[in-house]
Homo-oligomer: A and B are copies of this chain.
Amino acid sequence: MRRSTTEASSHTPVSRLGLSREYILEEALKLLDRDGLDAFSMRRLGNEMGIGTMTLYGYFPNRDALLDGIIDASASKLVTTKASGSWKERLRELMLSLRRALTQHPAIAELRRSRPLISPGALEVTETAMRILRQAGFSKAEAARTYRVLYIFAFGFAGYGPGARSEETETLEALSGLPADTYPVLADCAGEAAASMADETVFELGLDYLLDGLEKAVTGSRRDAA
């Protein structure tokens, strides 16, 4: 996408140590996906890459800028979807694709919290979703609000859903040990509750509830208009 400066073969400037913004971002994302945001530090990234910590500051003004860079660089290549079918089917496919991407790079969802979009690279999914919704006849405001719902569910699932940290057996133990007099229902459903917390398919369940509810709202308003 970006034009090269002076070198011919590579499309991004590379220093004498072989460093570039892109390369640093790749290594940072690897470290992040491996050990999580809590364990990430500039010093550790430097160590891992075999360079001095302060070298990083030659490429990014500070830690936050580096993290923003990761979102911008990775989000754009995450989701690819070839649209076909009804708006509902296309939207479903897009959200499943987003879910897959967030599964592959759990760090993205972690970073995205409290870090609003802004960066152009991170908006391709939004653009695609908005296009589908607008083509389906939603008003600008309806489309924007509806996408917010889907977006929050997808990122919420990544942030609060399975795979986060809880080990299923540990959760089951804790739930099984609940006092049955204060938590009668939950104690009765301990196994199912623990299983649901590790269940990836809950995403599709929720997504389909959302899309069905959305479809109902659309046909409802059409009936009102008629």
Contact = CB atoms under 8 A, between A and B. Distances in A.
Contacts of A123: 178, 183, 186
Contacts of A140: 188-189, 191-192
Contact of A185 (B116, B127, B157, B206): B127
A211 B212 contact: no
Contacts of A143: 189, 192
A33 to B, nearest CB: 15
The main secondary structure of chain A at its interface with chain B is: helix
Interface stretch (A4-12, A47-55, A78-86, A193-201): A193-201
A197 B123 CA distance: 14
B164 A156 contact: no
Given A118-B174, A130-B189, A149 B183 contact: no
A90 interface: no
Given A141-B195, A209-B213, A116 B151 contact: no
Copies of this chain present? 2
Nearest to A178: B120
A148 B204 CA distance: 12
A59 B209 CA distance: 45
Given A113-B159, A196-B141, A197-B116, A185 B216 contact: no
Given A114-B165, A156-B153, A144 B209 contact: no
A92 interface: no
A197 B114 contact: no
Interface in A140-199: 140-141, 143-149, 151-153, 155-157, 159-161, 164-166, 170-171, 174, 178-179, 182-186, 188-189, 191-193, 195-197, 199
A126 interface: yes
A211 B149 CA distance: 13
Interface of A: 112-118, 120, 123, 126-127, 130-131, 134, 140-141, 143-149, 151-153, 155-157, 159-161, 164-166, 170-171, 174, 178-179, 182-186, 188-189, 191-193, 195-197, 199, 202, 205-206, 208-214, 216-217
